[in-house]
Amino acid sequence: MKYFKSDNTAAVSREILQAIDRANSGVALAYGADRWSESLDRAFGDFFGKEVRVFAVASGTAANALALATFCPPWGTVLTHAEAHIERDECGAPEFFTGGAKLSLVGGAGAKISPADLTARLAWFEPHVHGVQPRMLSLTQATERGAIYTPQETGALAKIAHEHGMAVHVDGARFANALVAQDVDAADLTWKAGVDVLSFGVIKNGGMNAEAVVFFDPTRVADFEFRRKRAGQLLCKGRYAAVQLLAYLESGMWKRNAERANGLAKRVAAAAPQWLSEPSATNQVFMKLGRERIAALSKEFGFYPWGPAGSGEARFVCSWDTPDEDVDALCAALGKLK
């Protein structure tokens, strides 16, 4: 079976394992008091060209939920796309971590939020105690349908959010893929566009089990560290998480891996453009194949049907280590479908 199910099925990049090996010697203070953890702020600060605060956690779900809980009170709501990972794939983690805040959903093609739709959704809220109050906007970059927000698009949405007193979160589980897809600077796609906090994904793009939460205003971290500890996300041997985040940036693997994954996806998309249900911008390809073609492909390839049951859509994900020959085979098979 050749797998295009998820970039989470990929192995870990050699750079990560080597960094772990190098750190595996002697004593290092626990719970993030080691020298690797203590250098995270600087390393990510260099990457983003700005003083930041950075914290490691064990999963993307934890990164998102803790970031949201830092800015959204229990009586608040997070505006996000109806197909966002935080809404559909985290079993209510944001609600758990925030103490019962709401997610308020916005539609939009490509799992992208438009300024008009955001403004329309906001019109439903009133500043009184009867309803929850919009306190965060959460964007997914790249989106759950592989699309990207440009710096300009991000900035337009962030402007609306800030005007309404909301903080802006980006779920960047595939942030590297979004960066290389549009060849922009990390700063332009984040804090310069108004992003307040970023879940900077590492795992899907070659990491093992560490993600970064990046706060772009070092004075607005609030009680994040208490919440992280309380969630069992302050890792005992912090060095093994920190070195993953450091290697990710410093080896350049964030870029190499994302470029390869995006490139493979481009080939898949080009193999059967007539079926594409989304323009393919990053490392995911969506095709409206119908039930029978999906069944036929499923004999040789592992991938997920997408959308509500019976929609006839399929998702193919390329990862940093998807074998070239698997992509060749998929392209060939897609080309032969009729």
Q: Which of residues 94-113 bind its own copies (CB under 8 A)?
A: 95-96, 98-103, 105
In the complex, the smallest distance separating the C-beta of residue 198 from its own copies, rounded to whole angstroms, is 16
**H or E element in which residue 57 lies:** strand 53-57
User: How many of the other CB atoms lie within 10 Å of CB of 56?
Assistant: 29
Rule CB under 8 A: is residue 221 a binding residue for its own copies?
Answer: no
Helices (H), 205-252: 224-230, 239-250
β-strand partners of 81: 106
**H or E element in which residue 268 lies:** helix 253-271
Q: Interacting stretch for its own copies, rule CB under 8 A, among 43-51, 107-115, 222-230, 264-272?
A: 222-230
Instruction: Rank residues 18 and 152 by Cβ distance to its own copies and give the closer one.
Output: 18
Instruction: Rank residues 92 and 252 by Cβ distance to its own copies and give the closer one.
Output: 92
β-strand partners of 134: 77
Q: Which of residues 148-207 bind its own copies (CB under 8 A)?
A: 203-204
Q: Of residues 115, 165, 218, 232, which one binds its own copies by CB under 8 A?
A: 232
Q: Interacting stretch for its own copies, rule CB under 8 A, among 46-54, 110-118, 125-133, 327-335?
A: 125-133
Among the listed residues 282, 241, 237, 285, the one whose alpha carbon sits nearest the alpha carbon of residue 263? 282
In the complex, the smallest distance separating the C-beta of residue 242 from its own copies, rounded to whole angstroms, is 12
Rule CB under 8 A: is residue 41 a binding residue for its own copies?
Answer: no
Q: Interacting stretch for its own copies, rule CB under 8 A, among 10-18, 164-172, 257-265, 283-291?
A: 10-18
Instruction: Rank residues 102 and 260 by Cβ distance to its own copies and give the closer one.
Output: 102
Q: Of residues 40, 67, 78, 93, which one binds its own copies by CB under 8 A?
A: 93
Instruction: Rank residues 61 and 284 by Cβ distance to its own copies and give the closer one.
Output: 61
β-strand partners of 138: 80, 169
Q: Which of residues 291-330 bind its own copies (CB under 8 A)?
A: 308-310
Report cis status (omega within 30 of 0) of the bond before 222: no
The encoded tokens of residue 154 equal: 């991000």
Q: Interacting stretch for its own copies, rule CB under 8 A, among 17-25, 164-172, 178-186, 273-281?
A: 17-25
Rule CB under 8 A: is residue 91 a binding residue for its own copies?
Answer: yes
β-strand partners of 305: 314
In the complex, the smallest distance separating the C-beta of residue 82 from its own copies, rounded to whole angstroms, is 9
Instruction: Rank residues 92 and 263 by Cβ distance to its own copies and give the closer one.
Output: 92
Q: How many residues bind its own copies (CB under 8 A)?
A: 79
Cβ burial, residue 96 (10 Å; 0-12/13-18/19+): middle
Q: Of residues 27, 219, 325, 338, which one binds its own copies by CB under 8 A?
A: 27
In the three-class reduction of DSSP (H, G, I as helix; E, B as strand; rest coil), residue 171 is classed as: strand
Q: Which of residues 61-80 bind its own copies (CB under 8 A)?
A: 61-63, 65-66, 73-75, 77
The long-range contacts involving 294-301, CB below 8 angstroms and separated by at least 24 positions, are 296/337, 297/333, 297/334, 297/337, 300/1, 300/2, 300/329, 300/333, 301/1, 301/2, 301/3, 301/4, 301/329, 301/330, 301/333
Measured over all CA atoms, what is the biggest interatomic distance in the chain, rounded to whole angstroms? Answer: 61
